[in-house]
Amino acid sequence: MKVTLIRITPEAINAIETAASNCYDSEPTDGKIANSCYNSGHLSVLEFADIHFKVEGISRACANQILRHRTGKFEQRSQRYCKESGFEYVTPPSIQDNVQANKLYEEFIHKTQDYYDYLIDMDVPKEDARYVLPNACDTVLDVKFDLRNFIHFCNDRLCARAQWEIRGVAKEMVRLVVEQEPKCKPWLVPKCEIYTGYPFCTETKSCGRHPKLKDIYKIYEENKEKEVN
């Protein structure tokens, strides 16, 4: 997997604050206004910063998860027009670490590569031969988010409950963006850490990193009862 930051809005924080300053008849600062807007929920101003990535060597399964973020802009390598003979593929660690499972997986992939080539040799169009290609087949995506929707992507996909591959993509995206705009780092977190002073988990199957919201309420009610008594 390879993630490249193609471009980011120059002086992204300044671009956000320039837009926000128009709302409040103020002057841009060095991040104070942007933070204030984020913390108060005035998120529309974050849409004035754009981020463009190129993501290579991920599976079609992972790409499909990224494409579900409909607020982004995407262009994907076309299996309809591009020949996929000898396609590269992604192997999940849970399969790679299991000798028997990995053997079966490799056999399936290699047979699929052969079947695809057989169909092409039979003059079956690429757009139809692709029907035998697996989700493991790797792909290339160009991805563009405005900062507001990139934050939402990170909130969802940095969560421990996200699948390993897309979580890896999100982590690398964050690393690249923070290198360019360090002031964005506090916003690019899993959803359990959006509220830094009161972190809590909304997942049914929590990783245990932070308490569930219902547990926080329970503690609150217990403390409240103690105060009354």
In this structure, the answer to whether residues 199 and 215 fall within a common structural domain is yes
Q: Which amino acid is at 169?
A: V
Residue 103's pLDDT is 98
The closest of 209, 153, 201 to 177, measured between CA atoms, is: 153
In this structure, the answer to whether residues 58 and 141 fall within a common structural domain is yes
Residue 80 bears catalytic tag: no
173 touches 3 (CB < 8 A): yes
**What is the value of pTM for the model shown?**
0.91
The CA distance from 158 to 169, in Å, is 9
In this structure, the answer to whether residues 202 and 179 fall within a common structural domain is no
pLDDT tens per residue, range 10-69: 999 999 999 999 888 888 888 899 999 999 999 999 999 999 999 999 999 999 999 999
CA distance to 59, 64, 98, 218, per residue, from 156 (Å) = 19, 15, 29, 25
In this structure, the answer to whether residues 160 and 53 fall within a common structural domain is yes
How many Cβ atoms from other residues are within 10 Å of residue 125's Cβ? 10
Paired sense of beta strands 50-59 and 73-76, if any: unpaired
Structurally, the chain folds into a number of domains equal to 3
Enumerate residue ranges in the chain where pLDDT < 50: none
Q: Of 157, 161, 167, 209, which one is the catalytic site residue?
A: 157
45 touches 23 (CB < 8 A): yes
Range of the domain at 204: 195-229
